[in-house]
């Protein structure tokens, strides 16, 4: 009875959350990822991680070891610092096979290095550990492990940890500023199950009786929360994708009971991939795969193995918005990654805006504007700036506005700099090596790019929209004059803000639209023929408009 009730509540939550939007207020408590990079963590650059873990569904337990190959970035690296939650017990840490004394407190591993590492010198550290990882309360918003079961009672296991970071299940440098160049993921599970994860499957090898090991490898940089394992009684549904520079498989690891629904979803994935490639450049991981793993929780952008738990439901336009959203993160979040969670909007906001672009591309400008108005604008909260502070944790930066408000900021930017320039900025941001793969970005990189491409200094625009909680306020008065003209007095209340505004003048069936300059001092414009005036009739501008009397 109790179980049934919990399931009902969970289901109700899922439906409200998915129907409205994907974002959800989250606080990650002591697990929050990112923030100020500690002095010890700043002393090295991770080159390679290799997970060698046994996942025991019956015990809900992980055990094994993780290799961390790192390179010193300081002249004498004298200490090792990694993150791993205290849920686990570490039995041993080795440096190149030799035991190392260590401490494990407050979710941090610390070890003094008697033999210091010179700048550029590499060393491999192996951490042996075991224990029960945190269980996800509200995945993916509050992450952790899901030890669920499919309809046939078989184990169905997943992990999501965007807010909490990889440290909730494996030792890593839990900071967005550092990604390894590649990673190995070797997972031992009962031999009746399948394990799908990032990159390409190298081999499935027998382990102890009744168990087998799935050996996977990705040869691309990957952020730690994107490393994810999906274990279940999966069928594998494939479809080839032909990109501009190569081919790969779209691969869906789907619960066997739902495998008949797989082909339609991978066909849709192919269409989405072509859409994204057109706007943001070729799929970033073409040498590996676009992967989908059927999950108990709604979704997450795990690189080359996107979590998919949207129950094969299409929206009113006939597409699966969840898959579209997660796939967008392969560009925005995975290929273009922020080095400070302060700039989280670059992942979520551009990805949300991409859905508006998709609607415009497929269904025309009306669908684009409808999405901005009815989906994005309604979710804006204005409780804190989109970029709250530097060195932010996921708890400090995650809220609805990094999705919806940031997307509307891009919509307003499009209005100001024009369609072709905005699309050029986005494509450059997603394809220039300075911003992608091994390089990570901050908001200022985006602002500098817009300034460079537009030949203008748009600091005033981003200061208002990214670094101020409130949108700009437009104040205007419309007065009919005895000489049959209409006067518009208009200004921005925000010092230095100077976005021009479209005004639609209607006299009978005669309509004209004029873009007028607006600054923080009052401007006056005259319209002859006593027209009816409408401010920003197309809804381009993110603002609060106040009509004076
Ligand atoms: Zn997202």
Distance 429 CA to ligand 1 centre (A): 18
Nearest to 435 by CA among 423, 446, 451: 446
Query: Do 87 and 50 reside in the same domain of the chain?
Result: yes
For position 28, what pLDDT does the model report?
Answer: 79
Distance 17 CA to ligand 1 centre (A): 14
Distance 374 CA to ligand 1 centre (A): 19
For position 26, what pLDDT does the model report?
Answer: 60
Kindly report the number of other CB atoms within 10 A of residue 32's CB atom.
Answer: 21
Which of 425, 443, 467 is a domain's end point? 467
For position 29, what pLDDT does the model report?
Answer: 79
Distance 345 CA to ligand 1 centre (A): 10
Say how far apart CA 118 and CA 85 lie, in whole Å.
29
Query: Do 97 and 194 reside in the same domain of the chain?
Result: yes
Q: Cα separations (Å) of 461 from 234, 343, 379, 380, 432? A: 49, 16, 21, 18, 24
For position 451, what pLDDT does the model report?
Answer: 98
Distance 330 CA to ligand 1 centre (A): 10
Distance 128 CA to ligand 1 centre (A): 33
For position 137, what pLDDT does the model report?
Answer: 87
Q: Cα separations (Å) of 187 from 184, 192, 197, 339? A: 10, 14, 9, 29
- CATH code, domain carrying 356: 1.10.390.10
In a domain, 542, yes or no: yes
The domain tally of the chain equals 3
> What is the side-by-side strand order in the sheet with 155-160?
144-149, 155-160, 230-232, 194-196
In a domain, 271, yes or no: no
Question: Which residues are CB-contacts of 355 (< 8 A; sequence separation ≥ 6)?
Answer: 321, 324, 325, 328, 371
Say how far apart CA 51 and CA 373 lie, in whole Å.
45
- CATH code, domain carrying 207: 2.60.40.1730
Which of 412, 444, 467 is a domain's end point? 467
Query: Do 425 and 507 reside in the same domain of the chain?
Result: no
In a domain, 511, yes or no: yes
Residue that is written with structure tokens 């030792």 in the block: 171
Cα-only R_g, the chain: 26
Distance 403 CA to ligand 1 centre (A): 8
Any idea what DSSP says for residue 230? E
Distance 326 CA to ligand 1 centre (A): 6
Query: Do 444 and 521 reside in the same domain of the chain?
Result: no
Query: Do 237 and 369 reside in the same domain of the chain?
Result: no
For position 549, what pLDDT does the model report?
Answer: 67
Which tokens go with 77?
């690296």
In a domain, 130, yes or no: yes
Question: By residue range, what is the domain housing residue 497?
Answer: 473-547
Distance 421 CA to ligand 1 centre (A): 25
Query: Do 106 and 153 reside in the same domain of the chain?
Result: yes
Query: Do 504 and 455 reside in the same domain of the chain?
Result: no
Query: Do 293 and 361 reside in the same domain of the chain?
Result: no
| The model's pTM | 0.94
Query: Do 145 and 190 reside in the same domain of the chain?
Result: yes
Block means of pLDDT (10 residues each) for the chain, 549 residues, are 37 37 62 96 98 98 98 98 98 97 97 97 98 93 94 97 96 98 98 98 98 98 98 98 96 98 98 98 98 97 98 97 98 98 98 98 98 97 97 95 98 98 98 97 98 98 98 97 93 97 95 97 95 97 92
In a domain, 148, yes or no: yes
Question: Which residues are CB-contacts of 30 (< 8 A; sequence separation ≥ 6)?
Answer: 106, 107
Which of 467, 494, 527 is a domain's end point? 467
Distance 3 CA to ligand 1 centre (A): 30
Distance 160 CA to ligand 1 centre (A): 12
Q: What angle do CA 35, 37, 40 make, to 5 degrees?
A: 150
Query: Do 492 and 461 reside in the same domain of the chain?
Result: no
In a domain, 311, yes or no: no
Nearest to 454 by CA among 425, 485, 489: 425
In a domain, 317, yes or no: no
Say how far apart CA 251 and CA 350 lie, in whole Å.
25
- CATH code, domain carrying 497: 2.60.40
Q: If residue 117 lies in a helix (H) or strand (E), which one and from where to where?
A: strand 108-117
Query: Do 184 and 238 reside in the same domain of the chain?
Result: yes
Query: Do 479 and 460 reside in the same domain of the chain?
Result: no
Residue that is written with structure tokens 């002393």 in the block: 43
In a domain, 13, yes or no: no
């Amino acid at each position: 009875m109790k179980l049934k009730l919990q399931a009902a509540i969970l289901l109700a939550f899922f439906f409200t959350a998915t129907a409205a939007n994907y974002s959800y207020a989250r606080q990650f408590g002591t697990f929050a990822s990112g923030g100020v990079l500690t002095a010890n963590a700043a002393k090295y650059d991770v080159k390679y991680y290799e997970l060698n873990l046994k996942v025991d569904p019956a015990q809900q337990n992980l055990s094994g070891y993780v290799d961390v190959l790192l390179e010193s970035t300081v002249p004498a690296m004298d200490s090792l610092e990694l993150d791993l939650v205290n849920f686990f017990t570490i039995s041993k840490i080795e440096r190149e096979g030799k035991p190392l004394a260590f401490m494990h407190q407050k979710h941090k591993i610390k070890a003094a290095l008697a033999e210091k590492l010179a700048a550029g010198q590499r060393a491999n550290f192996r951490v042996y550990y075991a224990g029960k990882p945190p269980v996800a309360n509200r995945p993916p918003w509050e992450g952790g492990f899901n030890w669920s079961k499919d309809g046939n009672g078989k184990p169905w296991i997943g992990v999501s940890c965007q807010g909490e970071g990889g440290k909730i299940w494996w030792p890593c440098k839990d900071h967005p500023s550092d990604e390894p160049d590649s990673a190995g993921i070797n997972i031992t599970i009962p031999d009746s199950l399948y394990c799908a994860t990032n990159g390409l499957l190298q081999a499935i090898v027998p382990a102890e009786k009744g168990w087998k090991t799935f050996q996977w490898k990705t040869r691309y940089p990957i952020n730690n929360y994107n490393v994810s394992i999906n274990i279940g009684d999966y069928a594998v549904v494939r479809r080839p994708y032909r990109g501009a520079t190569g081919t790969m498989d779209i691969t869906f690891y789907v619960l066997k009971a739902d495998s008949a629904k797989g082909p339609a979803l991978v066909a849709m994935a192919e269409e989405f991939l072509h859409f994204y490639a057109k706007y943001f450049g070729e799929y970033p991981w073409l040498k590996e795969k676009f992967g989908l793993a059927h999950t108990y929780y709604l979704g997450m952008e795990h690189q080359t193995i996107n979590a998919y738990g949207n129950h094969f439901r299409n929206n009113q336009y006939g597409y699966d918005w969840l898959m579209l959203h997660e796939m967008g993160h392969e560009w925005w979040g995975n290929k273009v990654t922020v080095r400070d969670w302060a700039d989280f909007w670059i992942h979520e906001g551009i990805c949300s805006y991409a859905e508006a672009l998709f609607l415009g591309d497929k269904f025309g400008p009306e669908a684009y504007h409808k999405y901005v108005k009815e989906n994005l604008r309604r979710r804006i909260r204005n409780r804190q700036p989109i970029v709250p502070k530097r060195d932010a944790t996921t708890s400090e930066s995650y809220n609805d506005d990094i999705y919806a408000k940031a997307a509307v900021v891009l919509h307003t930017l499009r209005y100001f700099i024009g369609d072709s320039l905005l699309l050029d900025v986005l494509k450059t941001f997603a394809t220039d090596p300075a911003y992608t793969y091994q390089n990570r970005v901050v908001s200022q990189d985006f602002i500098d790019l817009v300034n460079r491409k537009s030949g203008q200094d748009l600091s005033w625009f981003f200061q208002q929209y990214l670094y101020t909680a409130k949108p700009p306020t437009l104040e205007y008065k419309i007065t009919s004059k005895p000489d049959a003209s209409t006067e518009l007095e208009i200004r921005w209340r925000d010092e230095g803000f100077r976005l021009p505004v479209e005004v639609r003048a209607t006299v009978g069936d005669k309509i004209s639209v004029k873009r007028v300059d607006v600054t923080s001092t009052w401007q006056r414009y005259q319209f002859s023929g006593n027209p009816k005036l409408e401010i920003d009739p197309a809804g381009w501008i993110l603002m609060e408009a106040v009509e004076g009397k």
